[in-house]
Amino acid sequence: MVFITSQSLNAEILRQQKLAQDIANVQTTISTGKKVNEPADDPQAWVQISQIGRQQSINDAWSSNATFANSRAQAAASNLTDINNLMSRVTELLVQSTSTSQDSPGRAAVAQELTGIKQQINDLVTQTDYQGNPVFDDTHTVNIPVGAGLAVDAVPTRQSITDNVVGTQSLDDVLQSAIDAVNSGDSTALNQSLSDSRTALDHVIVAQSDQGVRQDRIDDITQRLSDQKLDLTERRSGLEDTDVNEAVTKLSSKLTTLEAAQAAFARIGKQNLFDLLS
């Protein structure tokens, strides 16, 4: 004899409801592309995903800082290249002046050009970007955090470029002496200015070399952060992303099971007492 009680019917109803909820959950994982949408889906995976998410946020902040450092480094390198070119022009003008007579009318033009170069170099070392950030740091370098316990100085200080380029003379002093020497036409002063200008140019070249080292370091850090970002993304994807083929197979299986259960339940509902007793 078959006994069908309200308890067994309720149990079957609950089983089918649970199966329907499972189907809805699988459909959600397919539509969202995420197999873990809340802690209850997989508590252990949820904890790992949360930890990776926090690290991704930190990594993004470091990457943003590295990008900022790189932009400052490039601006400084560009300005140093311009200063190098201008100082090279200074030496050319001084060589030209030493080979001309003291009363040559061309000296006034040379002095005027040197004055313009002096102003251009001053503009380059004191330049700021559109946000008001100086191209070169003032007095002390600004360290930019780009990792756990890691910070970089993206640019040199303005003073390291302009001060003590020839003994205690500043770059501005060297240029002013060159202008005065050209205006005076004194051969001794011109030769000294030429020597000092070449030394100042060497100073700028060294500053360019140092800046190249900074840029290389920032590039290495940027690449490392990019690799870490990719690694974190892959790890999170493995924990969180839906395997669509697997999810579709699971969905099909559960739908088949639910349809069969509902069909059986419907047949039982149509049977009368005589059918059950026979």
Q: Which of 11-25, 49-63, 127-141, 222-236 has the lowest mean pLDDT?
A: 11-25
**Residues in contact with 164: Cβ distance below 8 Å, sequence separation at least 6, in sequence order:** 170
As a whole number of angstroms, the distance between CA 28 and CA 1 comes to: 43
Mean pLDDT of 84-100: 91
Q: Which amino acid is at 191?
A: N
Could you tell me what percent of the chain has a pLDDT over 70? Answer: 73
Instruction: Give the per-residue pLDDT at 18.
Output: 67
Write down the domain spans for the chain.
6-35+241-277, 45-239
pLDDT in tens, 190-233: 999 999 999 999 999 999 999 999 999 999 999 999 999 999 99
Burial class (CB in 10 A: 0-12, 13-18, 19+), 171: buried
pLDDT(2) > 80 = no
pLDDT(277) > 60 = no
pLDDT in tens, 25-83: 666 666 666 767 778 777 888 898 899 999 999 999 999 999 999 999 999 999 999 99
Compute the CA torsion angle 115, 118, 124, 126 (nearest 10 deg): -110
Instruction: Give the per-residue pLDDT at 240.
Output: 75
Instruction: Give the per-residue pLDDT at 273.
Output: 44
Q: Which amino acid is at 180?
A: D
**pLDDT confidence tier of residue 189, bands split at 50, 70 and 90:** very high
Task: Take residue 24 and report the two structure tokens written for it.
Answer: 């809805």
Instruction: Give the per-residue pLDDT at 40.
Output: 77
**45-239 topology per CATH:** f41 fragment of flagellin, N-terminal domain (1.20.1330)
**pLDDT confidence tier of residue 98, bands split at 50, 70 and 90:** confident
Nearest Cα to 72, choosing from 239, 218, 231?
218
Instruction: Give the per-residue pLDDT at 19.
Output: 60
As a whole number of angstroms, the distance between CA 180 and CA 131 comes to: 37
Task: Take residue 115 and report the two structure tokens written for it.
Answer: 């004055």
Task: Take residue 9 and report the two structure tokens written for it.
Answer: 């019917």
As a whole number of angstroms, the distance between CA 149 and CA 34 comes to: 34
Instruction: Give the per-residue pLDDT at 108.
Output: 86
Task: Take residue 117 and report the two structure tokens written for it.
Answer: 């170069």
Task: Take residue 262 and report the two structure tokens written for it.
Answer: 């509902």
User: Which residue has better confidence, 17 or 270?
Assistant: 17
Instruction: Give the per-residue pLDDT at 198.
Output: 97
